């Protein structure tokens, strides 16, 4: 596997979104080090979206982030999905290929949502089996992201982070640690987000996500419609102390700001990392 | 064969999101925050139609504009209740939406909606198609003879509509002048194509031009296609000039190699 040029420890990036295409096609100097592309937006296209992604790739490292693998689905992955994702990955040479630790429905009725799994041995075995198929088909390791959730299952026999770590170890895959999702789930389910962040082994973490949630009053909703909130930034500071090399990404999917607004969040993440690792006396 | 606990749970979850909350699932979960179990399942249940409606709105933007929010959302709600998403890609959702719109009683006042939706779906497919640089005009002219089969490139779509919808589709979003029957009356034939780049071009076709191009697309030799179309000599020359200039032809199969 080729290594993407420009990949370096602790870099900060943003999600590539179509509203910023016109600006980015001017090849401006930016403060971001890399981009993350939603796999499904490009793997089924031979048109303009792919053309733009390949142009971006000329100047930046790129990670591919999927939303439809349904790695926890009992029906198993769809071969066609892997064929197309493999084709895209071979063209883009991403430094990380990731998806979510969840299921997204059934083949005959995809609900296109990140539905939580119960934290059980059967779920771990199912995910591990599907990851093996995926990694074999893709020829590279996957990273799985912890999702925000709004319910928990009575049959769960471990904490969310124990489940995440067990999956990564059993499946021999890596973790995309979404700090915002950890915070949202912690608030929704009444555990300490700090325990979650502290428990995840550094060697398993391929990447970090930061995003914004919406406070719905009765629960926190992972909307990616705003900047990370102060408690999420504090949690990120805690995470980055142990994970100085992990690439960090700002995710923003709704009410997306202009480029400067998005870029400012990446700069903020970089500054926090710098404060923790370069400005503090040893 | 009995299903496993995880299989049963996932089946119940999908049913709860797409149909109605399953009592066994409600009993199996605890709501997050201050949500009850049913309310927590409702978070996922509410997100489902919102997400699919958004996908329909992105694909069928002109239909949405013509129908207005209330009518479009009502149509989307009814369609989503009938048509589950079978693709992993949300952008694939809604292929049968044109026929659904056409069959709705509310479509009587806007009989062109099905055609407009078909154009939007075709545009989306072409948007994602690989740009193809067909043969240069000189190369095409040198290679093509009456017995040649002209294979059209993949980035070329021929469309025939009962209603005149191209003008409605192209209409300025800010233009809220009510449509009148004169805006959509009359059949229309279009070719949508890319030529070397990802820009999409459109040309309206006459009845014989459309007949000639569909005959070519079906693999009929050039001479036979033109004869079938009924184009006169001048019309045939004009169509050939357009086909050459637009670089629609990916390959010319020489005489004697055309039968399949």
Percent of chain B with pLDDT strictly greater than 90: 87
Q: How far apart are CA A118 and CA A116, in angstroms?
A: 7
Enclosing H/E stretch for B193: strand B188-194
The token pair that represents B225 in the structure block: 């296609």
Q: Which residues of B touch A126 (CB under 8 A)?
A: 6
Query: What fold is seen in the domain A12-277?
Result: TIM Barrel (3.20.20)
Q: Please tell me the predicted confidence (pLDDT) of residue A154.
A: 98
Q: What is the DSSP letter of B107?
A: G
pLDDT tens profile B6-41:
999 999 999 999 999 999 999 999 999 999 999 999
Tens place of pLDDT per residue across chain A (282 aa): 344 457 888 999 999 999 999 999 999 999 999 999 999 999 999 999 999 999 999 999 999 999 999 999 999 989 899 999 999 999 999 999 999 999 999 999 999 999 999 999 999 999 999 999 999 999 999 999 999 999 999 999 999 999 999 999 999 999 999 999 999 999 999 999 999 999 999 999 999 999 999 999 999 999 999 999 999 999 999 999 999 999 999 999 999 999 999 999 999 999 999 999 887 765
B37 inside 8 A of chain A by CB: yes
Q: Are strands A97-100 and A103-106 parallel, antiparallel or unpaired?
A: unpaired
Confidence of residue B196 (pLDDT cuts 50, 70, 90): confident
Three-state DSSP state, B144: coil
Confidence of residue B106 (pLDDT cuts 50, 70, 90): confident
Within 10 angstroms of residue B190's Cβ, the number of other Cβ atoms is 20
Q: Which residue has the higher pLDDT, B258 or A93?
A: A93
Q: Which A residues 54-113 touch B at CB under 8 Å?
A: 68, 70, 73-74, 78, 81, 103-113
Helix axes B37-59, B113-127, angle to 10 degrees: 90
B122 inside 8 A of chain A by CB: no
Is the pLDDT at B178 greater than 80? The verdict is yes
Confidence of residue B255 (pLDDT cuts 50, 70, 90): low
Q: Please tell me the predicted confidence (pLDDT) of residue B225.
A: 96
Of B7, B35, B87, the CB nearest to A74: B7
Q: How far apart are CA B214 and CA B229, in angstroms?
A: 9
ipTM, interface predicted TM-score of the complex: 0.93
A39 inside 8 A of chain B by CB: no
Interface probe for B, chosen from A151, A214, A217, A219 (most Cβ of B below 10 Å), is A151
Tell me how close the Cα of A57 comes to any Cα of chain B, in angstroms. 18
Q: Please tell me the predicted confidence (pLDDT) of residue A2.
A: 44
Confidence of residue B154 (pLDDT cuts 50, 70, 90): confident
Of A40, A41, A122, the CB nearest to B5: A122
Of B29, B39, B48, the CB nearest to A153: B29
pLDDT tens profile B203-243:
999 999 999 999 999 999 999 999 999 999 999 999 999 99
pTM, two decimals, is 0.93
Of B9, B41, B86, the CB nearest to A110: B86
pLDDT tens profile A139-175:
999 999 999 999 999 999 999 999 999 999 999 999 9
**Exposure string for A244-261, b = 16+ CB within 10 A, e = fewer:** eebbbbbbbeeebeebee
CA of residue B166 relative to chain centroid, distance: 14
Q: Please tell me the predicted confidence (pLDDT) of residue B257.
A: 61
Q: Which residues of B touch A104 (CB under 8 A)?
A: 88
Is B129 in contact with A149 (Cβ distance < 8 A)?
no
Q: Please tell me the predicted confidence (pLDDT) of residue B260.
A: 44
Angstrom distances, CA of residue B167 to CA of B164, B171, B174, B179, B183: 7, 6, 14, 11, 8
Q: Please tell me the predicted confidence (pLDDT) of residue A140.
A: 96
Identify the closest residue of chain B to A215 by CA–CA distance. Answer: B33
Confidence of residue B182 (pLDDT cuts 50, 70, 90): confident
**Three-class HEC string of A54-72:** HHHHHHCCEEEECCCCCCC
Which segments within A50-183 are labelled E, that is strand? 62-65, 97-100, 103-106, 109-115, 142-145, 151-153, 174-178
* Mean of per-residue pLDDT scores for chain B: 93
Is the pLDDT at B143 greater than 50? The verdict is yes
Q: Which A residues 168-197 touch B at CB under 8 Å?
A: 185, 187-189
CATH number of B131-260: 3.90.930
Q: Which residues of B touch A122 (CB under 8 A)?
A: 4-6
Tell me how close the Cα of A78 comes to any Cα of chain B, in angstroms. 9
């Amino acid at each position: 596997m080729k290594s993407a040029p420009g990949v370096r420890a602790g870099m900060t990036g943003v999600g590539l979104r179509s509203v910023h295409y016109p600006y980015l096609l001017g090849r401006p100097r930016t403060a971001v080090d890399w981009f993350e592309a939603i796999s499904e937006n490009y793997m089924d296209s031979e048109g303009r979206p792919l053309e733009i992604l390949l142009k971006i790739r000329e100047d930046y490292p790129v990670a591919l982030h999927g939303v439809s693998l349904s790695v926890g689905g009992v029906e198993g992955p769809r071969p066609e999905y892997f064929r197309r994702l493999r084709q895209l990955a071979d063209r883009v040479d991403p430094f990380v290929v990731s998806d979510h630790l969840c299921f997204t429905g059934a083949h005959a009725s995809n609900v296109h949502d990140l539905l939580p799994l119960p934290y059980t041995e059967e779920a771990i075995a199912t995910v591990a089996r599907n990851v093996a198929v995926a990694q074999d088909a893709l020829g590279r390791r996957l990273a799985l992201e912890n999702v925000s959730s709004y319910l928990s299952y009575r049959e769960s026999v471990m904490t969310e982070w124990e489940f995440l770590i067990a999956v990564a170890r059993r499946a021999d895959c890596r973790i995309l640690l979404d700090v915002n999702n950890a915070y949202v789930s912690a608030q929704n389910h009444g555990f300490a987000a700090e325990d979650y962040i502290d428990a995840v082994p550094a060697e398993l973490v391929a990447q970090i996500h930061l995003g914004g949630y919406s406070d719905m009053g009765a629960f926190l909703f992972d909307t990616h419609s705003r900047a990370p909130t102060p408690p999420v930034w504090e949690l990120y500071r805690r995470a980055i102390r142990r994970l100085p090399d992990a690439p960090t990404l700002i995710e923003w999917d709704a009410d997306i700001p202009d480029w400067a607004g998005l870029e400012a969040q990446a700069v903020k993440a970089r500054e926090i990392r710098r404060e923790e690792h370069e400005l503090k006396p040893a | 064969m009995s299903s496993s606990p995880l299989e049963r749970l996932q089946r119940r979850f999908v049913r709860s999101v797409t149909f109605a909350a399953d009592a066994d699932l409600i009993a199996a979960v605890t709501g997050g925050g201050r949500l009850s179990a049913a309310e927590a399942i409702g978070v996922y249940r509410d997100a489902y139609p919102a997400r699919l409606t958004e996908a329909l709105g992105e694909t069928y933007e002109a239909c949405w504009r013509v129908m207005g929010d209330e009518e479009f959302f009502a149509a989307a709600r009814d369609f989503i209740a009938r048509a589950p998403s079978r693709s992993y890609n949300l952008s694939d959702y809604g292929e049968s939406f044109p026929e659904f719109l056409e069959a709705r009683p509310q479509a009587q006042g806007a009989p062109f909606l099905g055609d407009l939706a078909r154009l939007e779906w075709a545009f989306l497919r072409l948007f994602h198609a690989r740009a193809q640089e067909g043969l240069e005009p000189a190369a095409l002219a040198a290679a093509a003879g009456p017995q040649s089969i002209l294979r059209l490139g993949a980035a070329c779509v021929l469309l025939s509509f009962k209603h005149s919808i191209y003008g409605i589709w192209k209409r300025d979003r800010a233009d809220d002048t009510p449509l009148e029957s004169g805006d959509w009356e009359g059949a229309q034939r279009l070719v949508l194509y890319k030529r070397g780049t990802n820009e999409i071009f459109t040309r309206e076709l006459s009845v014989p031009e459309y007949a000639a191009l569909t005959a070519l697309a079906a693999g009929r030799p050039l001479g036979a296609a033109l004869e079938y179309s009924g184009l006169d000599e001048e019309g045939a020359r004009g169509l050939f000039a357009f086909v050459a200039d637009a670089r629609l032809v990916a390959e010319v199969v020489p005489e004697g190699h055309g039968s399949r």
